[in-house]
Amino acid sequence: MSGATSWSHVDSPALLLALALAWDATLGEVPGRVHPVVWLGALVTWLRKRLHRTDVDPVGQLIAGLVLVVISLGLALGALTLARAGAASLAGPWGQRAVELYVLQASFAARALLEAGERMRVALAAGGAAAGRAELMHLCSRSPEGLDASALSGAALESLAENASDSVTAPLFWFALGGLEALVAYRVLNTLDAMVGYRGRYEHFGKVAARLDDLLNLVPARLTAGLLLIAGALQGRDWRRGVRVLRADGRRTASPNAGWPMAAAAGVLGVRLVKAESYVLGAGLPAPAPRDLRRGLSLVRLTMALTAALALAMVLTLARVRAVLG
């Protein structure tokens, strides 16, 4: 077999994705000191300090936020281009693919999310609410103060469902649809949204990033909700109740996207998910208990497996379409 022919089998987005999925499943994420998303967070922190000012009007803050988005995207995509070119010059095509694999694997976090959920389950089972409060910060930004075991279980289930979309479905969807550049752009905007896209101090400064992140998550959030229903059906759960809760409550959250996977999970699991003074998903269902976390983790794990299979199918199908079109 010639070198060109053998390389054609390696120069494949589907193979790259399969290797990244295997890496995440077996090894998990790389250490923070060499993690591209951690580096991105440090860059955003540095830019935020220099661009955000509270002594300017909302329009000025919006413009500064737009500049933050443009610079962050430009630097991240430029770094990807330089890293690919540098690796290719040093080690040829294999070096370039190694860089791409590294970036791709670091851009989604299936195993890390499941591990955080399992730590919460164990903490609640072994140490009750006090232990659970210490673990909540690894799953979501909600304050754990005053939350009992039921509220902590609900917050963990919400985070598992929402992050199944943000941290797994969306990155894989954008990679499948637009390659590594689309994936990196999504990860940049999602990180910006997490760091500046909320009400309060950064409300106007982070609005551009927040709206772009909402746009990029429109399809993945609804796709995740559908996959949660399918996973529930495969596990013999009440997927029809999931559909009913999704239709009734999927739009009750302030975010146009977060409510979709959370409502689907609430219905499939048969629990009521509540954020005080914000929303109730699955009104009339029982409050969650720590034992529900085991069922929630199982549901999300299967949903992630379905997501991975769908992403691989998308990559293969789009590659075939492009080959046919020439």
Domain spans, the chain: 3-325
Q: Residue 41's pLDDT is what?
A: 96
Q: Which is it for the CA torsion 274, 277, 279, 285, positive or negative?
A: positive
Q: Residue 323's pLDDT is what?
A: 83
Helix (H, G, I), strand (E, B) or coil at 281: strand
Q: Residue 235's pLDDT is what?
A: 98
Q: Residue 4's pLDDT is what?
A: 42
Q: Residue 248's pLDDT is what?
A: 97
Q: What does the alpha-carbon distance between residue 101 and residue 8 come to, in Å, rounded to a whole number?
A: 16
* Cβ pair 159, 183 in contact under 8 A: no
Instruction: Say how many C-beta atoms besides its own lie within 10 A of residue 204's C-beta.
Output: 21
Q: Per-residue DSSP letters for 132-186? A: HHHHHTTT-SS--TT--HHHHHHHHHHHHHHHHIIIIIHHHHHHHHHHHHHHHHH
**CA-closest candidate to residue 164, choices 105, 116, 103:** 116
Residue in this structure with the two tokens 């860059």, named with its chain if needed: 43
**CA-closest candidate to residue 143, choices 121, 280, 152, 296:** 152
* pTM (predicted TM-score): 0.93
Average pLDDT, consecutive stretches of 10 residues, N- to C-terminus, the chain (326 residues):
44 91 94 95 96 92 97 98 96 94 96 96 92 88 88 96 97 97 98 91 94 98 98 98 98 95 98 93 96 97 98 94 84
Which pLDDT tens digit goes with each residue over 5-35?
444 454 589 999 999 999 999 999 999 999 9
Q: Residue 81's pLDDT is what?
A: 97
Q: Residue 11's pLDDT is what?
A: 56
Buried b (16+ CB within 10 A) or exposed e, 53-77: eeeeeeeebbbbbbebbeebbeebe
